[in-house]
C-alpha cells in the first residue's frame, strides 16, 4: 500500500522530470524539426496567428524545414513573421512553398547548448530534491509510527534517486545528440 505522502512526492518529482524533459526538447540539436517554427506569429487575415495554424510544416531532411501555406497569399506574411521572430533562419520562397535551410552549428554553439542543458538538468534535480525535502517535512509532522515513518522515508529517497537518474540519463542522451556532428 502506498502512503499519501509518498504518492504526493512521486507526483511532484514526476512533474519536475517532465518539465525538465520539456525544456530539453526546446534545445535544438541542429536537426530540423517543425517545432522550431510552429510558434512563429504570422499576420494572417488581419490578426496574428501561429504559423502552424496557417501552413503545413514538414522536414524533408535533417537540414531543411519546408512550409506550405494553405493560402498562397500568405507566403510574404510568413517570411516576414519568421524574419521578425529573429530565430537566425533565412526563409527562401520557392513558388508555393517556403524553404528554410538550417546553417551548420559551430562547435562553440554546440558547447553553449550543452551548458544550457546542464543548467536545465541541475534545475530539475533541485526541484526533485525540494519535493523530497517537503515530503520529509510533511512526514515528520504526520507523527506516524517509527517503522512506518522509516519505510516511507526510504521509499521517498528511492523515488528521488529514480527521478534524478532519469534526468541524468536524458541529459547524457541530449548531450550526445548536441555533440554529434
Q: Can you give the CATH number for the domain in which 175 is found? A: 1.10.132.20
172 shares a domain with 138: yes
Count structural domains, the chain. Answer: 2
pLDDT confidence of residue 128: 96
Range of the domain at 63: 34-101
17 shares a domain with 45: no
Q: Provide block-wise average pLDDT over 10 residues at a time, the chain (181 residues).
A: 86 94 77 81 87 90 89 90 82 91 82 89 96 94 91 95 96 88 63
CATH number of the domain that residue 65 is part of:
3.30.1360.40
Global pTM reads 0.69
Rounded CA gap, 96 and 75, in Å?
A: 7
pLDDT confidence of residue 181: 63
pLDDT confidence of residue 88: 74
Element containing residue 17 per DSSP (H, E): helix 4-25
Cell numbers at 16, concatenated: 519536475
pLDDT confidence of residue 40: 85
Element containing residue 107 per DSSP (H, E): helix 107-142
39 shares a domain with 63: yes
**Residue 101: CB atoms within 10 Å:** 13
Point out the domain boundary residue: 59, 85, 101.
101
Residue 53, CA distances (Å) to 25, 43, 45, 106 in order: 21, 11, 12, 32
Question: Looking at residue 30, what DSSP letter applies?
Answer: S
Rounded CA gap, 89 and 70, in Å?
A: 21
Task: Find, among 56, 13, 59, 52, the residue nearest to 33 by Cα.
Answer: 59
Point out the domain boundary residue: 83, 101, 119.
101
110 shares a domain with 96: no
Q: Which residue has the cell 531532411?
A: 61
**Residue 109: CB atoms within 10 Å:** 14
Amino acid at each position: 500500500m502506498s502512503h499519501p505522502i509518498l504518492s504526493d512526492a512521486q507526483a511532484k518529482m514526476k512533474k519536475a522530470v517532465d518539465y525538465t524533459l520539456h525544456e530539453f526538447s526546446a534545445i535544438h540539436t541542429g536537426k530540423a524539426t517543425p517545432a522550431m517554427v510552429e510558434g512563429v506569429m504570422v499576420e494572417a487575415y488581419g490578426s496574428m496567428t501561429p504559423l502552424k495554424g496557417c501552413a503545413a510544416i514538414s522536414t524533408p531532411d535533417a537540414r531543411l524545414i519546408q512550409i506550405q501555406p494553405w493560402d498562397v497569399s500568405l507566403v510574404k506574411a510568413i517570411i516576414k513573421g519568421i524574419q521578425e521572430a529573429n530565430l537566425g533562419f533565412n526563409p527562401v520562397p520557392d513558388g508555393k512553398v517556403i524553404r528554410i535551410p538550417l546553417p551548420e552549428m559551430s562547435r562553440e554553439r554546440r558547447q553553449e547548448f550543452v551548458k544550457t542543458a546542464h543548467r536545465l538538468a541541475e534545475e530539475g534535480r533541485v526541484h526533485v530534491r525540494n519535493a523530497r525535502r517537503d515530503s520529509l517535512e510533511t512526514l515528520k509532522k504526520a507523527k506516524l509510527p517509527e517503522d512506518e515513518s522509516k519505510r516511507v522515508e526510504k521509499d521517498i529517497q528511492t523515488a528521488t534517486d529514480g527521478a534524478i537518474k532519469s534526468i541524468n540519463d536524458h541529459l547524457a542522451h541530449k548531450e550526445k545528440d548536441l555533440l554529434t556532428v
